[in-house]
Amino acid sequence: MIGVTTAIIQDKRVQRKDGTYAIKLRVTYNREQKYYPINVALTPEEWEKTLSQKPRNEAKENRIFFNKIEQKAIDIIKELHPFSFQQFEKKFNQKTDRSKDVLSHLEAYKEQLAKDGRSGTADSYKCAFNSITKFIKTKNRKKLQFADVTPEWLSSYEKWMLSSGKSMTTTGIYLRSLRTIMNIGIEEGIISHEFYPFGKRKYQIPAGRNIKKAVTIADIKKIVNYTTKTDAEARAKDLWLFSYLCNGANVKDIARLQYRNIDNSKITFIRAKTERTTKQDQKPVLVVLLPEIKAIIDRWGEKPISPETFVFGILEKDDTPERELAKVRQATKTINKYMKRIGEELEFDLTLTTYTARHSFATVLKRSGAPTEFISESLGHKDLRTTENYLDSFEDNVKESFQRQLLNFD
């Protein structure tokens, strides 16, 4: 409504014992201002981080939450004719319903993912649903209300997962799925940010152990020179190298590759993993068409009947999302089976997988001196922190050579 303005501000009139100040919604109408608490308090430094051009981590989460609060206020104001603070306060302070069931929301979200053709992600949410369902049964519960998901509950679930033999990585994946549902709960007004259990000073999702995922350039040379025993092994090796040479493209991207993505000098494609989540800012991955890449296409590529022909014949035009997922998984399984054998023959100290190809692309480039920004762009990442997670540690002999420079007086 014209004449009514909103803002999220830090109220510095009263400082709390922990050095924080309340963050409030300010509504101005006819030069009168009223302030509404939103159950968040920050230090001046934390507030400045939230206001920065590119906030990160918890500051980014706070910015998103504040934007949602302000948008909620704006939506309410638009409905009020005429505007009055009394009517605004009545609608803005409506109580949330934290008794709603988390699992029903999780299942509905899973089904929506499947309808959107995101079968792999839907499958991950299904696993999270089954795991959480099994956990609450150990507590003699059939439902999980939003109010139940507290930092203490999350810690209890984490301990149960680890005691059941699940890895820290798997635990983190399931908890991130649950976090998404809790965020949806906030958006739908089921819970308020006050009861949000994730974040600093609350519960933080564990990260998996940083195990070795990449091979060295010397190992790549051994793979290239390895003499395969069968056509199946040769195809698996070539597709693995294709992934490595094509900016670490995953099997789904390779399977989806069509001849229209290839010209005389380059391959261009949108990562399947990000095509739905970054529709407004899709950055294509660009790969220089090296002779070695072209040779792999010539050896194993389908006849280019049309620009829409899939290069490697893994997929067919009429495949459903479920069928596509099954074919990509089978192709990945086949490549991994033969690459594991090749790695064992070459006596590598890690198991070769398609995942190794992607990490090796990033790590070999980093060790060659390529800037992280270039690697990030090549991988199709939007966030440098994601890229940094791909970059493996340097070999011990490289560390030693750097360390010796500390006493190199020549």
**What is the per-residue pLDDT across 271-285, written as a single tens digit (0 to 9) for each?**
776 665 544 456 788
pLDDT in tens, 148-166: 899 999 999 999 999 999 9
For position 219, what pLDDT does the model report? 92
Q: What is the pLDDT of residue 338?
A: 96
pLDDT at position 278, please? 46
More confident residue, 100 or 59: 59
102-195 placed in CATH 3.30.750: no
3-state secondary structure string across the chain? CCCEEEEEEEEEEEECCCCCEEEEEEEEECCEEEEEEEEEEECHHHHHHHHCCCCCHHHHHHHHHHHHHHHHHHHHHHHCCCCCHHHHHHHHCCCCCCCCEHHHHHHHHHHHHHHCCCHHHHHHHHHHHHHHHHHHHCCCCCCCEHHHCCHHHHHHHHHHHHHCCCCHHHHHHHHHHHHHHHHHHHHCCCCCHHHCCECCCCECCCCCCCCCCCCCHHHHHHHHHCCCCCHHHHHHHHHHHHHHHCCCCCHHHHHHCEHHHECCCEEEECCCCCCCCCHHHCCCEEEECCHHHHHHHHHHCCCCCCCCCECCCCCCCCCCHHHHHHHHHHHHHHHHHHHHHHHHHCCCCCCCCHHHHHHHHHHHHHHCCCCHHHHHHHHCCCCHHHHHHHCCCCCHHHHHHHHHHHHCCC
Share of the chain above pLDDT 90, in %: 48
pLDDT in tens, 388-408: 665 555 455 555 555 555 555
pLDDT of 252 > 80? The answer is yes
Mean pLDDT of 168-172: 90
- What pLDDT score does 379 carry? 72
Tell me which fold the domain 217-398 belongs to: hpI Integrase; Chain A (1.10.443)
Whether the per-residue pLDDT at 193 is higher than 90: the answer is: no
**Could you read off the pLDDT of 71-116 as tens digits, one per residue?**
989 988 988 888 899 888 888 876 555 557 899 999 999 988 888 8
Please state which of the ranges 142-151, 255-264, 369-378 shows the lowest mean pLDDT.
Answer: 369-378
Residue of 202 and 397 predicted with greater confidence: 202
Tell me what the mean pLDDT of segment 226-252 comes to: 94
Q: What's the pLDDT at 194?
A: 76
What's the confidence (pLDDT) of residue 8?
Answer: 95
Which stretch, 55-59, 118-122, 161-165, 390-394, has highest mean pLDDT? 161-165
128-152 per-position pLDDT tens digit: 999 999 999 998 888 898 888 999 9
Q: Where are the domains of the chain?
A: 4-91, 102-195, 217-398
Distance CA 174, CA 169 (A): 9
The arithmetic mean of pLDDT across residues 272-299, rounded, is 77
pLDDT value at position 54?
85
Give per-residue pLDDT as tens, 311-358.
999 999 999 888 998 999 999 999 999 999 999 999 998 899 998 998
Higher pLDDT: 270 or 134? It is 134
Q: Tell me what the pLDDT averaged over the chain comes to.
A: 85
